[in-house]
Amino acid sequence: MMDVAKKRQLSRIKTLLSVIFLLLLLWGSGYRTQVSFQDLFSGIPNIFSALADMLPPDWGYFDYVTGPMLETIRIAILGTTFGGILSIPIILLSSRNVTRSPFLFYPARFILNLIRTIPELLLAALFVPIFGIGPAAGICAITVFSLGIIAKLAYEAVEAIDPGPLEAMTAVGANKIQWVFFGVVPQVAAHFMSYFLYAFEINVRAAVILGYVGAGGIGIILNNMLASFQYNRVITIILYTLIVVAIIEFISNKIREKLL
Amino acid sequence: MIEFKGVTKIYPNGTVGLKNINLKINKGEFVVIVGLSGAGKSTLLRSINRLHEITEGEIFIDGESITAARGKKLLQMRRDIGMIFQNFNLVKRSSVLRNVLSGRVGYHSTLRTLLGLWPKEDIRLALEALERVNIRDKAYARADELSGGQQQRVSIARALAQQAKIILADEPVASLDPLTTRQVMDDLKRINEELGITTIVNLHFIDLARQYAQRIIGVRAGEIVFDGPVEAATDAVFAEIYGRPIKEDELLEAQK
Amino acid sequence: MRTETVNKKALLPKDVRKRLIWRRLKIGVIAAIVILIYAWAFRGFVKDFKINPNAGQSIKAIFNGIIHPDWDYIVEPGGEDLLHALIDTLAIAVLGTFISAVLCIPFAFWAARNMSRRRWISGTGKFVLSAIRVFPELIMAILFIAAVGLGPFAGILALGFHSVGMLGKLFGESIENMDLSPREALIASGANRLQTLWFAIVPQVLPEFMSYTLYRFEVSVRAATILGIVGAGGIGAPLIFALQGHTWDRVGIILIGIIVMVTIIDYISGAIRKRLV
């Protein structure tokens, strides 16, 4: 048993080592990426001129952009919905208290981790060659992406449920499907809806970006505007996105509060 | 009706849960099992419907072996056994009626039960069951809106809706106050007498056991050390079952 | 079904019946709204999915590329290879997260309800953080490229500023959930603002703060892989070139590289976080 003084010394050394490690990491990264504060300071006026270019926003452009904005929301709705539906079997297979067999459990978790590792833009970029430029690629990308988000949160919720009702369903003679439906589902249904809405919030923002690689919605226009240096239209689009996301987040939060 | 033949349970780490149990329980009996915590009461009870698996021996229900049953047969046999738990084990967010109806899932195809297409007969049975325990008016309330005693009564209604021939109750009153305890035990006794359902109850209050049991089984360290009519269960007998004189926290009346 | 409903309800007290009808009505309205939304969303759905005639070919090619990745790309002489690109990406994530961790602190205090006297102060703080969160990293990256030129530095700045949105929100929430009594005790004993900060607030929120920073780091690593697409350094640029050039074997190895890197980082970060909280 170490005495108190020695313990303190040990933890001090640990902290010191961590700090040194951190500093090395930062310095190394800075070196690698050729960070230069000179560049930053000399470049700041450029930012301001770029911002100045952006303002005033092209107000007339709002009308034109509404269509694509709705399209983006559509992509988010459909993608989240399909992702949510597909996530259900994965959730059940990834929950230790539902799936006993390791042959089902480990592969399910593995696939889930794999999905969550890939950034959504990458997914979209992979789907574009298949479905061509347009919303379909975006919907598919969001479906896969949502699956990752919803399934992870949901299986954690499933693993935390009260095992009592599950025991009761075994005692009553329910088969596996009935057991899940009457024992598991009622306990996590509200959580699932909440995670669904959370994923939807994220997806609306993501869908805007996906258009950058051609996956439909407002992102394609954004890309075009950037490429043609029409920055005041760019800011219009960004403002529009801001407002839409704020509204959706507000509604979604209200509903989620009611659920849980 | 229920028969244990040479039943033994040894846990993977070597602990002996049950040791060579031989037991016969007849139809319509009201049996109370007593013993220290960890003596094996729960294991004994739960091995009847195979919530706990045994390592040796066989258990017969109405002549059929439940130990050998598998798949559909096991589900059917479980369907005919109702179980009441210490923590009620109701689905808190579901309505009382839905909780009671969940006892009927073994009688219908999966699809029917999932879609909620309960036949008229089932709903009638469920409501009657609730009537029998005097909480029909709460049928559409959410389960977690009810008090402990009421929840336990819903749990009993679920067993009744199953049209169970046997009711197993694992410490059904341990989470309830003394007044509600009496109500629930009265309900169990009444159902046993009116419907002739074989009832086996695990209790740890001795005076309660004496008041309600016809037959008492004492378990100690995985073995049956007493099995006889309630009249024969004197204080001395209990001391034997517990391995020491009775303590105050084993008397319901002393919990005031 | 009809007669059964009548049977069910006939023997229930009146107020229970009323409650039941209200509940059914609410569910009906919600269901109607949801159906309407989906009807709108699915309009034109079929025509969306006109599959590219070359789709079959593309899928096969992509699949092939993933199965037979370009192993040579991992290490190449001259340093224009996968490993270097991944390290660059990590470096961008490290610095970006560090900057955001430092910058978000004042914002977090601004947005925390218990740190200011008037409601509207924290309200504006929260709004500003929301606005930053919505501002896409890609756009920020483009802006910074205009300022400091192409390359990883722009990516670091973009990541740093954008992450302030998420870290500021999480950190602000932890400040709101903080126990205020040590602070009161210090004020009572005559400590000034800075001292209360250091002795009462910092020790409480530091572990959570480090945990959130690590979590943000995990997200930043993923984000950094994308920033290269607009020229902000890291693996994004080689990736987009490979995608546009249809060199699927290179796409394959990059994908594998990203997956491996993210998995390792997640694992290490997760292990550290578990020991923190």
Domain at B236, CATH number: 3.40.50.300
- Placement of tokens 């309205």 in the chain: C29
The closest of C219, C234, C233, C231 to C265, measured between CA atoms, is: C219
| A40 vs A12, higher pLDDT | A12
Contact A50 C147 (CB under 8 A): yes
Residue C1 has pLDDT above 60, yes or no: no
How high is the pLDDT of residue A91? 95
C1, C3, C11: which to substitute to probe chain B, counting the most B Cβ within 10 Å?
A: C11
> Does one domain contain both C181 and C76?
yes
Contact C8 B137 (CB under 8 A): no
The number of C-alpha atoms within 13 Å of C9 and in the hemisphere containing its C-beta is 13
For the domain made up of A57-259, give the CATH fold: MetI-like fold (1.10.3720)
Contact C20 B120 (CB under 8 A): no
> Does one domain contain both C19 and C131?
no
Q: Residue ranges of the domains in chain A?
A: 2-53, 57-259
Contacts of A183 in chain B (CB under 8 A): 91
Does residue B163 lie in a domain region?
A: no
Please compute the mean of the pLDDT values over residues B71-99 and round it to a whole number: 93
Alpha carbon of residue C96 to chain centroid = 14
How high is the pLDDT of residue A69? 87
B45, B47, B66, B91: which to substitute to probe chain A, counting the most A Cβ within 10 Å?
A: B91
C1, C2, C3, C4: which to substitute to probe chain B, counting the most B Cβ within 10 Å?
A: C4
Residue C9 has pLDDT above 60, yes or no: no
How high is the pLDDT of residue C7? 47
| A166 vs C61, higher pLDDT | A166
* Subunits adjacent to chain B (3 or more Cβ pairs under 8 Å): A, C
Domain count, chain C: 2
Q: In what order do the strands lie in the sheet with B30-34?
A: B81-84, B166-170, B198-202, B30-34, B215-220, B223-229
> What CATH code is carried by the domain that includes residue C98?
1.10.3720.10
CB atoms within 10 A of CB B55: 13
> Does one domain contain both C11 and C90?
no
C-alpha distance from B137 to closest chain A C-alpha (Å) = 22
DSSP lists the bridge partners of residue A59 as: none
CA distance C251 to C256: 9
Q: Quick one: angle between helices A218-227 and A61-94, nearest 10? A: 130
Our CA angle for A7, A12, A18, nearest 5°, is 130
Q: Kindly list the distances between the CA atom of residue A158 and the CA atoms of A99, A151, A258, B93, in Å, as whole numbers in the listed order.
A: 11, 10, 20, 15
* Subunits adjacent to chain A (3 or more Cβ pairs under 8 Å): B, C
How high is the pLDDT of residue C70? 77
Q: Do residues C161 and C128 touch, judged by C-beta distance below 8 A?
A: no
CA distance C83 to C96: 20
Name which of A34-43, B23-32, C164-173 the model is least confident about.
A34-43
> Does one domain contain both C34 and C155?
no
Domain enclosing residue C42, as ranges: 2-48
> Does one domain contain both C71 and C205?
yes
Contact A174 B106 (CB under 8 A): yes
Residue B96 has pLDDT above 70, yes or no: yes
> Does one domain contain both C99 and C131?
yes
* Helix (H/G/I), strand (E/B), else coil: B159: helix
Q: Give the pLDDT confidence of A39-92 residue by residue, as tens digits.
A: 777 777 777 777 777 777 777 777 888 888 888 898 899 999 999 999 999 999
Q: What is the DSSP annotation of B12-58?
A: TTS-EEEEEEEEEE-TT-EEEEE--TTSSHHHHHHHHTTSS--SEEE
> Does one domain contain both C251 and C146?
yes
Residue C3 has pLDDT above 60, yes or no: no
How high is the pLDDT of residue C78? 64
Q: Give the pLDDT confidence of A90-130 residue by residue, as tens digits.
A: 999 999 999 988 999 999 999 998 898 888 888 888 888 87
Sign (positive or negative) of CA dihedral B39, B43, B48, B53: negative
Does residue B125 lie in a domain region?
A: no
Q: Do residues A37 and C134 touch, judged by C-beta distance below 8 A?
A: no
Does residue B162 lie in a domain region?
A: no
Residue C6 has pLDDT above 50, yes or no: no
- pLDDT confidence bin for C203, thresholds 50/70/90: confident
Name which of A144-153, A230-239, B123-132 the model is least confident about.
A230-239
Q: What is the DSSP annotation of C211-258?
A: HHHHHHHHHHHHHHHHHGGGTSSSTHHHHHHHHHTT-HHHHHHHHHHH
Residue A208 has pLDDT above 70, yes or no: yes
How high is the pLDDT of residue A234? 79
CA distance A260 to A194: 8
Letter string b/e over residues C232-266, b meaning 16 or more CB atoms within 10 A of that residue's CB? bbbbbbbbbebbeeeebbbbbbbbebbeebbeebb
Q: Do residues B42 and B16 touch, judged by C-beta distance below 8 A?
A: no
Residue B236 has pLDDT above 50, yes or no: yes
Contact B123 C12 (CB under 8 A): no
C-alpha distance from B94 to closest chain A C-alpha (Å) = 7
The closest of C253, C218, B91 to A152, measured between CA atoms, is: C218
Mean pLDDT over each residue of chain A, to the nearest integer: 85
Q: Give the pLDDT confidence of A240-254 residue by residue, as tens digits.
A: 888 888 888 888 888
Share of chain A above pLDDT 90, in %: 34
Sign (positive or negative) of CA dihedral B106, B109, B114, B117: negative
Torsion of CA B128, B130, B131, B134, to 10 degrees: 170
Share of chain B above pLDDT 90, in %: 66
Q: Give the pLDDT confidence of B112-163 residue by residue, as tens digits.
A: 898 888 999 999 999 999 999 999 989 988 999 999 999 999 999 999 999 9
Residue B31 burial by CB count (10 A; 0-12/13-18/19+): exposed, middle or buried? buried
The closest of A218, A58, A170, C156 to B81, measured between CA atoms, is: A170
Residue in A172, A178, A183 closest to B162 by CB: A172
- Placement of tokens 């995990």 in the chain: C218
Chain C CA closest to residue A119: C222
Does residue B216 lie in a domain region?
A: yes
Residue in A130, A134, A135 closest to C55 by CB: A130
Q: Give the pLDDT confidence of B26-64 residue by residue, as tens digits.
A: 999 999 999 888 888 999 999 999 999 999 999 999 999
How high is the pLDDT of residue C234? 83
> Does one domain contain both C137 and C11?
no
Chain B CA closest to residue C15: B137
Residue A223 has pLDDT above 90, yes or no: no
- pLDDT confidence bin for A10, thresholds 50/70/90: confident
Contact B105 A169 (CB under 8 A): yes
Quick one: tokens of B37?
């915590």
Please compute the mean of the pLDDT values over residues C237-263 and round it to a whole number: 85
How high is the pLDDT of residue A206? 85
Contact B85 A172 (CB under 8 A): no
Contacts of C91 in chain A (CB under 8 A): 28-30, 32-33
- pLDDT confidence bin for C185, thresholds 50/70/90: confident
Chain A CA closest to residue B90: A165
Domain enclosing residue B16, as ranges: 1-80+201-246
Q: Give the pLDDT confidence of C41-52 residue by residue, as tens digits.
A: 887 666 666 666
Name which of A67-81, A196-210, A221-235, C200-214 the model is least confident about.
A221-235
- What does pTM read for this prediction? 0.83
ipTM: 0.87
Q: What is the DSSP annotation of C12-50?
A: S-HHHHHHHHHHHHHHHHHHHHHHHHHHHHHTTHHHHT-
Size of interface A-B (CB pairs under 8 A): 78
Domain count, chain B: 1
Mean pLDDT over each residue of chain B, to the nearest integer: 90
How high is the pLDDT of residue C47? 62
Strand B30-34 relative to strand B215-220, pairing = parallel
